[in-house]
Structure 1
Amino acid sequence: MNNIRLLEIKFLIILIIMLLIIFLKKYFMNKIINLKKLTKIVDGKLIGKNIDILNFSINSKNIYFKCLFIAIRGKKFDGHNFVQDAINNGALAIIVDKYLEVSIPQIIVLNTIISLGKISLWKRLQSKSHFIGITGSSGKTSVKEMTASILKNVGKVLFTKDNMNNIIGVSLTLLNLNNQYKYVIIELGANNLSDIKYSANLVRPNTALVNNISISHLEGFKSFKNIFRCKNHIFKYLLNNDRAIINLDDINHKKILHKLINKKIWSFSIKNHNADFFTTNLKILQNKICFNLHTPIGVIFISLFIIGGFHNVSNALAASALSLSAGASLIDISKGLASFKSISGRLFPIRLGHNKLILNDTYNANPQSVIAAINVLKRMNGKKILVIGDMMELGLYSFFYHNKIKNFIIKSNLDFILSIGIYSKYITKYHNNSEHFLNKKKLIIKLIKILTNLNNFTILFKGSRKAQIEVLINMLLEQEQFK
């Protein structure tokens, strides 16, 4: 009995040691910093003791070991109103933009969002990881996810989660940096001219991509010229040994190349064999895309097990170039792309039954992405149904681009088009087999009526984030016949 008891004690000790190692790995991969040093980094004023900090958070509910809470002022919430919650949850210090009566040290700064960025830049400059920056008008997230899928075969990867691609999201991703990551993949989004310049300064990419440049977020940018200028800021911080990745199929590539004098460049194209990365024997099937990938170090066969079109091929080429530049092999690229799965809200397939398919492409919409999605719908079997909402943030050009989409749809030979929103009425106006709705429920009633006698169909749901077209999908799936 004594021997059994001794073994139990030994097992318990080993278990405690293993848990302690996991704890230490999780928390001490980060660098400890004291508040005096942190105050210099953020150019603030320290009030209180000079204690050590290990982790940072802007969410009062997520307070970690030795954590500092940063009170961010947002459009909907003010982090200063949640400081006491953060303290109750274990925060040891705070960064604020005004003095607060609290029991823990505080660093007072002019702007807490800028301070968040300064801390992120400090963490970035400590890191020896390979940093990849991705921007563009369409396909950023898909390229990011494809690149992550490839590089996971080579080493540990930190990458942008969900849609955290604005200046706060980029900063928060960089806050997660520690020395276990070999690769860091950051998606850079923008609504205004200075956004990419700011984020690129934080990321300092070793490899940078502009996936494409087209009309999007015109409300913030005001002109295509500003969109072009903004996207190209991603190359601003490339050093001599860093590399820019260029899409030769993008109409703007010559203008981009003109601005990359004395930079190392790789290019990609679906059909242009003068590019560093291109395809041959391309086949786009119903549930699969396959091609031979040509690269500077050889050729390999690629399979993508997704429903997609030419834009997915272009994204795969971009991801391949980024990954090879970061040190991946051709086998890593082939394996990573083969394991890539469709992303929610981006031509994500939902099967209602045999030969009955929904394509959920509701994450966002601009003219280029709408055309790409419709091109995929055109290749599907059975009746082709488009449910489309507004393309937002086009400002004064809203009517022009919705009318342009209408003209494209006329040539696409779709069977039914249902639209909802303010500007999407121009898409279905004076068009056969088309109808515009102001009410989601009425649209669903019409859609169900269309589907009643159909045994083979594909429905593409498309619209900008603010249009909330995904609500229509949920309403359809709640119908008894589709449960």
Structure 2
Amino acid sequence: MEQLTLEEIVKVVNGKVDINGECRKYNYLSTDTRKLRNNSIFVALRGENFNGNDYVKEASEKGANLCIVDQIKFNPDELKGNTSIILVEDTKQALLSLAEYYRSKLNVKVIGITGSTGKTSTKDLLAAFLSSKFKVFKTKGNFNNEIGLPLMIFELDNTYDIAVLEMGMSDLGEIHRLAKVARPDVAIITNVGISHIENLKTRENILKAKMEITDYFNDNNILIINIENDLLSSIPSDKYKVVKVGFNKESDYKADNVTLNQSFIEFVVSDDNNEEEFHIDIPGKHNILNALLGIAAGKILGIEYEEMKSGIKNLSVTSMRLDIIKNEKITIIDDCYNASPDSMKAALDVMNSIEGKRKIAVLGTMKELGDKANESHKLIAEYASKQGVDILVTIGEFNDAYREGFKNDKGFKSFENNNNASEFLLNNTNNGDVILVKASRSMKFESIVNKLKAEN
């Protein structure tokens, strides 16, 4: 973390100094007292089930030289002498404002990634492509909201060349605020599906929300889009440059000669001047599009294809996303991190490419689909049937919709909780089975994966 002065911070967060401590050194920022270390800044956020203002004494004891608060809930005599206190109106807004200011002090190129699905895979691929030439920072885990993204900004310093940052949202205005903080030089939109349609009502509104990533663009900025997505295929480009990727001839970066394997993808990328064959050790046709987005960004940043092919050897993928686990008895596809109709279909496609005696799909609820939820779960079950799923195991509130879509009562099993489903799987798994486990993150399907791994 680059150095900030107390005076700078007070001005940026529009606060006032309540206690002027003895130490002004700030090397780290956190909103979690469990992660604090010496010379930290602690921002006391408030949530539905917690109030960070209650932990100022603990923060001081753990090395916070500065606490930013919006309530005084501490006894000054209990704080260490090194701790200063800034009182603000709203600590969440203070975090965003301070992150925006800190970003302005960094000489780091920022690539922002948003989209209904594929953000994390694209982030991982892009960071690998860039790694042969640049020192790259990428969003950790799922720190992509109005709290997570500022925390990622504060992990940057000027030793990095490029930051690849995810930007998530569930409603209009959120990505606008994230773009104000991160000020991406290059933006990527992976696709526009129906995730969060419960809040946004239409896919056109989802597109509008994703396009907020360009709200601070000028003619020096570049937007990269996947034109295989219907709503992204006709984005105008009068204010900034738009680069298109896909499988069709209108793409600036086009994939041909595609090979899909259970453990890798191969394809040839062509642009106006060159073509190059890529081999990447991840499965799924959808990941060809994610890779094309990363390749386009790499070329924009001056990396040659051969350098990208060297960098992709450093690919480190985020866990619980199409993680294929093989043992002597079964193959498990662990894709527990999130679920939407598009990502469900992509995971079923991958399972279809893996050789096995039986295909078993363990599917849970796709969240935030609103009025489209019942129909969406039914359509996924229909797709599973078409992709050769032998047994469909479902858990949650849309079991009936899944049953209606699958149309094979003999191969359909539904359960109310993870434990019962796990017990069924453990008692009914055969040698050579391929088992896909996928649902929205809140359903905690990793518990099913862990039991399958332990018993097979």
| Structure-1-length-normalised TM-score | 0.88
Alignment of 1:135 onto 2:118: no
- AA of the residue aligned to 1:173: M
Tell me if the contact between 2:44 and 2:51 (Cα under 8 Å) persists in the aligned partners: yes
Q: Distance in 2 between matches of 1:231 and 1:107?
A: 34
- AA of the residue aligned to 1:158: F
RMSD over aligned CA atoms reads 1.8
Query: Counterparts in 2 of 1:81-96, with a 5 A limit?
Result: 81-96=54-69
Tell me if the contact between 2:118 and 2:290 (Cα under 8 Å) persists in the aligned partners: yes
1:65 is displaced (CA, Å) by 4.2
Query: Counterparts in 2 of 1:159-170, with a 5 A limit?
Result: 159-170=138-149
Deviation larger for 420-429 or 455-464: 420-429
Query: Counterparts in 2 of 1:446-457, with a 5 A limit?
Result: 446-451=424-429, 454-457=430-433
For the structure 1 residues 455 and 65, does the alpha-carbon distance in structure 2 shift closer, same or farther, using more than 3 Å as the test?
Answer: closer
Q: Which residue of 2 aligns with 1:374?
A: 348
Tell me if the contact between 2:322 and 2:333 (Cα under 8 Å) persists in the aligned partners: yes
Q: Which residue of 2 aligns with 1:287?
A: 263
Deviation larger for 170-179 or 234-243: 234-243
Q: Which residue of 1 aligns with 2:94?
A: 115
Alignment of 1:42 onto 2:13: yes
Q: Which residue of 2 aligns with 1:248?
A: 227
Tell me if the contact between 2:418 and 2:445 (Cα under 8 Å) persists in the aligned partners: no
Tell me if the contact between 2:286 and 2:346 (Cα under 8 Å) persists in the aligned partners: yes
- Any unmatched runs of 5+ in structure 1? 1-29
Q: Distance in 2 between matches of 1:425 and 1:442?
A: 17
Residue 335 of structure 2, aligned match among 361, 364, 367: 361
1:134 is displaced (CA, Å) by 0.2
For the structure 1 residues 54 and 387, does the alpha-carbon distance in structure 2 shift closer, same or farther, using more than 3 Å as the test?
Answer: same
Q: Distance in 2 between matches of 1:176 and 1:296?
A: 38
Q: Distance in 2 between matches of 1:413 and 1:146?
A: 29
Query: Counterparts in 2 of 1:317-336, with a 5 A limit?
Result: 317-336=292-311
Query: Counterparts in 2 of 1:112-261, with a 5 A limit?
Result: 112-255=91-234, 257-258=235-236, 260-261=237-238
Alignment of 1:79 onto 2:79: no
Q: Which residue of 2 aligns with 1:400?
A: 375
Q: Distance in 2 between matches of 1:471 and 1:209?
A: 33
Report SS of the residue matched to 1:233: helix
Residue 385 of structure 1, aligned match among 337, 351, 360: 360
Report SS of the residue matched to 1:393: coil
Q: Which residue of 1 aligns with 2:446?
A: 470
Q: Which residue of 1 aligns with 2:24?
A: 52
Aligned residues: 444
Q: Distance in 1 between matches of 2:245 and 2:453?
A: 40
| Structure-2-length-normalised TM-score | 0.93
For the structure 1 residues 75 and 297, does the alpha-carbon distance in structure 2 shift closer, same or farther, using more than 3 Å as the test?
Answer: farther
1:296 is displaced (CA, Å) by 4.6
Q: Distance in 1 between matches of 2:335 and 2:176?
A: 29
Higher relative contact order (CA 8 A, sep 6+): 2
Residue 420 of structure 1, aligned match among 395, 418, 422: 395
- Any unmatched runs of 5+ in structure 2? none
Q: Which residue of 1 aligns with 2:416?
A: 438
Q: Distance in 2 between matches of 1:177 and 1:95?
A: 20
Q: Deviations over 1:54-82 (max 9, x none)?
A: 23222223334432211111233211111
Residue 267 of structure 1, aligned match among 219, 233, 244: 244
Tell me if the contact between 2:2 and 2:158 (Cα under 8 Å) persists in the aligned partners: no
Alignment of 1:105 onto 2:80: no
Q: Distance in 2 between matches of 1:296 and 1:96?
A: 54
Tell me if the contact between 2:337 and 2:439 (Cα under 8 Å) persists in the aligned partners: yes
Tell me if the contact between 1:130 and 1:326 (Cα under 8 Å) persists in the aligned partners: no
Q: Distance in 2 between matches of 1:392 and 1:351?
A: 29
